[in-house]
Amino acid sequence: MIYKNDLINIKVEKSEIPWLIIFTNENIKEFSQCDNKTKTEIFRCLDIIEKHMLEYYTPEKINIASFGNYVPHVHFHIMARFKEDSYFPEPMWGKKQREANLSLPSFDEFTKRLLNKLNS
């Protein structure tokens, strides 16, 4: 976990690409069941993460997904996608297209800067 407050927490998904997941702290099944304060906090953090990924990594695209079939708990995946990643243009859960050897800026530096933005 890289970030937590009273409403949400943010975790890293181990991957070849920058990939974060925002979870609600409460075990809420559907986004529509979140109170407005939680919804606002999810979107605040999602917006900050997306903008920071665009600025820091300059990816081809940002993918945002909210699936909950295996984990019936409100969560949002935010992924920086690159034409050279193993799955592009497929989703990261799709069919592998190639072997990738991405050379990306430091993820540790990315998360350090991101935490400053989330805490501002």
Please give the CATH topology (third level) of the domain spanning 3-118. HIT family, subunit A (3.30.428)
Q: pLDDT category, 72, cuts 50, 70, 90?
A: confident
Is the distance from CB of 86 to CB of 16 less than 8 angstroms?
A: yes
Q: pLDDT category, 68, cuts 50, 70, 90?
A: confident
pLDDT at 78 over 90: yes
> How does pLDDT run across 10-21, given as a tens digit for each residue?
999 999 999 999
> How does pLDDT run across 85-109, given as a tens digit for each residue?
999 999 999 999 999 989 999 999 9
Please compute the mean of the pLDDT values over residues 6-29 and round it to a whole number. 97
> What pLDDT sits at residue 27?
95
Q: How far apart are CA 31 and CA 39, in angstroms?
A: 8
Q: What is the pTM of this model?
A: 0.95
Measured in Å, how far apart are the chain's first and last C-alpha atoms?
19
pLDDT at 57 over 90: yes
**Three-state DSSP string of the chain:** CCEECCCEEEEECCCCCCEEEEEECCCCCCHHHCCHHHHHHHHHHHHHHHHHHHHHHCCCEEEEECCCCCCCCCEEEEEEECCCCCCCCCCCCCCCCCCCCCCCCCHHHHHHHHHHHHCC
Is the distance from CB of 20 to CB of 4 less than 8 angstroms?
A: no
pLDDT at 69 over 90: no
> What pLDDT sits at residue 89?
97
Would you list the domain boundaries of the chain? 3-118
